[in-house]
């Protein structure tokens, strides 16, 4: 299994906004642990909010990385706000809409909206919002010994980044 | 903007950034030791101060980013060159207590709420848009 919590990029407004989608499938093992059958009743598979936060962090992180052509190591520094108002179930889709609030040499702050789509009807409904701060870690490493290659936007992300990657 | 108005805004920034209560944010409260700010909170505080007061803060302007350079530290203690650099770069901070025992690991303790207020005052006085 790969640590990828978005399936595809839907749109990209350079330096401003990136929207990604994740389809939630019952084939994903982790859903069966969240929550399994127990004393409280039958199993209730649903997308963990912590992994929706990760999906938004990946979306916003790609947006921040793209501003400087993925030359900076973009590390999640702080989640200043994460509010989830509704659950997401298998068969539904999640949209992560990330915008840059501010960016400079030190890092960036981002604002995100999470929406849910029910394929049986109802359209997109906003279910959560986030504020996430990223550090350009090379500018703030304070003595940390980090590897030189860009371990953030590595092989794992290449399938998703596609056209966002700078041409070599 | 008066000193009190600036203090109130800085207080709001720290309440939001650090999840502390209003009454904990006193002028003498130290950001790290008393309000439990971690290194990454400083980035958050910089962003929020910029937004609250409408000016830009350059890298290393509010908090030092190169003080752990071996040039400025001898055996874990900030040396004379390091102290001179800190005082020059950060006139908003009172280094009196730190100078008596200038261990590098304690440098973050010099940042008090009052030093943040003084920094904002100096930026506004220097003509940064308010």
Per mean pLDDT, which range of A104-108, A143-147, B22-26, B34-38 is the poorest? A143-147
Mean pLDDT of chain B: 90
Our separate counts of H helices and E strands in chain A read: 2, 6
**pLDDT tops 90 at residue B62:** no
Contacts of A41 (CB under 8 A, 6+ apart): none
Q: Please report the domains of chain B, with CATH numbers, ordered by start residue.
A: 1-57+111-130 (1.10.1200.10), 64-110 (no CATH)
Q: Is A42 helix (H, G, I), strand (E, B) or coil?
A: coil
CB-facing half-sphere around the CA of A160: CA atoms within 13 A: 28
Distance CA A61, CA A107 (A): 11
E strand or H helix at B95: none
Comparing B83 with A149, the larger pLDDT belongs to: B83
Sign, CA torsion A138/A140/A143/A144: negative
> What are the pLDDT digits (tens) for A98-124?
999 999 888 999 999 999 999 998 899
CA distance B3 to chain A (A): 27
Residue A73 φ/ψ, nearest 5 degrees: -85, 115
pLDDT at B130: 46
Q: What is the DSSP letter of A110?
A: E
Percent of chain A with pLDDT over 70: 91
Instruction: Give the CATH architecture of domain A8-158.
Output: Roll (3.10)
**Residues of A marked as catalytic:** 34
**Chain A residues closer than 8 Å to B15 by CB:** none
In three-state form (DSSP H/G/I as H, E/B as E, the rest C), the secondary structure along B27-92 is: CCCECCCCCCCCHHHHHHHHHHHHHHHCCCCCCCCCCCCCCCCCCCEECCEECHHHHHHHHHHCCC
How big is the A-B interface in CB pairs under 8 Å? 37
Give residue B77's pLDDT band: very low, low, confident or very high (50, 70, 90). very high
Domain limits of chain A?
A: 8-158
Comparing A63 with A164, the larger pLDDT belongs to: A63
What's the mean pLDDT in A62-91?
94
Contacts of A141 (CB under 8 A, 6+ apart): none
**pLDDT tops 70 at residue A168:** no
> What are the pLDDT digits (tens) for A82-95?
999 999 999 999 99
Show the tokens assigned to B15: 């309440």
pTM: 0.85
Sign, CA torsion A7/A13/A18/A19: negative
**pLDDT tops 60 at residue B95:** yes
Contact B59 A77 (CB under 8 A): no
Mean pLDDT of chain A: 90
Whether omega before A154 lies within 30 degrees of 0, making that bond cis, reads no
> What are the pLDDT digits (tens) for A26-41?
999 999 999 999 988 9
Q: Which of A78, A133, A139 sits opposite B59 (nearest CB)?
A: A139
State the ipTM, two decimals: 0.77
**Chain B residues closer than 8 Å to A139 by CB:** 59, 65
What's the mean pLDDT in B93-100?
90
> What are the pLDDT digits (tens) for A128-160?
999 999 999 877 655 455 566 666 777 777 778
pLDDT at B108: 84
**pLDDT tops 60 at residue B69:** yes
Distance CA A127, CA A116 (A): 7
């Amino acid at each position: 299994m790969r640590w990828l919590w978005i399936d595809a990029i839907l749109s990209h407004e350079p330096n401003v906004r990136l929207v990604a989608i994740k389809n939630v499938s019952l084939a994903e093992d982790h859903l069966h642990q969240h929550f399994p059958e127990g004393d409280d009743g039958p199993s209730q598979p649903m997308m963990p909010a912590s992994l929706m936060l990760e999906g938004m962090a990946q979306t916003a992180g790609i947006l921040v990385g793209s501003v400087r052509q993925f030359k900076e190591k973009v590390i999640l520094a702080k989640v200043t706000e994460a509010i989830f108002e509704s659950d997401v179930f298998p068969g539904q889709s999640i949209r992560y809409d990330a915008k840059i609030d501010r960016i400079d040499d030190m890092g960036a702050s981002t604002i995100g909206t999470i929406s849910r789509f029910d394929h049986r009807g109802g359209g997109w409904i906003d279910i959560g919002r986030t504020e996430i701060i990223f550090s350009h870690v090379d500018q703030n490493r304070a003595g940390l010994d980090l590897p030189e290659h860009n371990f953030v936007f590595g092989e794992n992300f290449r399938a998703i980044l596609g056209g966002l990657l700078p041409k070599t | 903007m008066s000193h009190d108005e600036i203090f109130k805004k800085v207080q709001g920034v720290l309440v939001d950034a650090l999840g502390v209560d209003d009454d904990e944010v006193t002028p003498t409260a130290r950001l790290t030791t008393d309000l439990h700010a971690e290194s990454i909170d400083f980035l958050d505080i910089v962003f929020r101060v910029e937004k609250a007061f409408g000016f830009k803060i350059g890298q290393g302007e509010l908090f030092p980013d190169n003080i752990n350079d071996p040039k400025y530290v001898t055996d874990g203690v900030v040396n004379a060159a390091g102290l001179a650099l800190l005082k020059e770069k950060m006139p908003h901070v009172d280094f009196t207590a730190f100078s008596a025992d200038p261990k590098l690991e304690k440098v973050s303790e010099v940042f008090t709420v009052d030093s943040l207020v003084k920094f904002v005052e100096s930026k506004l006085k220097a003509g940064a848009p308010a």
